[in-house]
Amino acid sequence: MGPVAGRSALQRQSTPQGSVMPQPYIFRTIDLDGQTIRTAVRPGKPHLTPLLIFNGIGANLELVFPFIQALDPDLEVIAFDVPGVGGSSTPSVPYRFPGLAKLTARMLDYLDYGQVSVIGVSWGGALAQQFAHDYPERCKKLVLAATAAGAVMVPGKPKVLLLMASPRRYIQPSHVIRIAPMIYGGAFRRDPNLAAEHASKVRSAGKMGYYWQLFAGLGWTSIHWLHKIRQPTLVLAGDDDPLIPLINMRLLAWRIPNAQLHIIDDGHLFLITRAEAVAPIIMKFLEEERQRAVMHPQPTQMRSS
């Protein structure tokens, strides 16, 4: 596929304070009909299908760098800021998941990618489901982490959901440090330094982009078409996730035909806090190839003489 018309600023650059990048990333800011999208690609080797990351609500791409670092360096990884987040421009009108999936396909065209594997985290897991459903030929394998099927999900505690309804934690670092144990659970309950480290990597684009992300998921659900997702799917769940109770991941694994469930001993952000443990699980899944069935011949019937 040829690239979509737009502009590209190619650069290798350092990340915000607190981010560590031992491998070079290629940053591009591309323009798709007036919508600028900031992307980062960690180059890899051609024998592995590239991995595209759909990040969580309000989360800029730098927040997944610790996870990317833990993956096999041969794996090419694509991360981006959705509209209204990080370095991507905020649209003047709201959007929905089908529109974002279409924008993602155009972004891949621009960056000259055909087929990719996809991982979606939390809010990004909903977008990953939409992309796998709408563009099955572009999605080889699907990884869903700490996510749900949308409006039919079993919700977390009301107090936790109320805190998530506000972008304040991405605007005031002191706020996320205070509430992180409550909303993220797991390692954030035990290590107060994790919240400060997380806050240091945040790059907010303002409140409106966050509200547009909330609107994208308002009333959305995949429950009626999950059975049509045919890609091999790995569902990852934290057993101490205040935002997405474990039963939601069990539902995904049950409804998606070729899905397997793996439970992690941690909270909502296990991709970051348990990156060294989770990355090998994901790599094994991505590297597995379906074995073609072998039809063994019937035993030769003994003939009586």
Q: Could you give the CA distance from residue 28 to residue 13 in angstroms, rounded to a whole number?
A: 10
Q: Could you give the CA distance from residue 40 to residue 12 in angstroms, rounded to a whole number?
A: 9
SS3 239: coil
Q: Could you give the CA distance from residue 292 to residue 189 in angstroms, rounded to a whole number?
A: 46
CB 212 within 8 Å of CB 94: yes
Label the pairing between strands 35-42 and 26-32: antiparallel
Q: Which two tokens stand for residue 63?
A: 């927040």
Query: 122 catalytic, yes or no?
Result: yes
Lay out the sheet containing 77-80: strands in order across.
Answer: 26-32, 35-42, 77-80, 51-54, 116-121, 139-145, 233-238, 259-264
Residue from 122, 200, 222, 304 carrying the catalytic annotation: 122
DSSP 4-69: PS--B--B--PPSTT---SS--EEEEEEETTEEEEEEEE---TTS--EEEE--TT--GGGGHHHHH
247, HSE (Cβ side, Cα atoms, 13 Å): 5
SS3 193: helix
- Output DSSP code: residue 229: -
Would you please indicate which residues are annotated as catalytic (active-site) residues?
Answer: 122
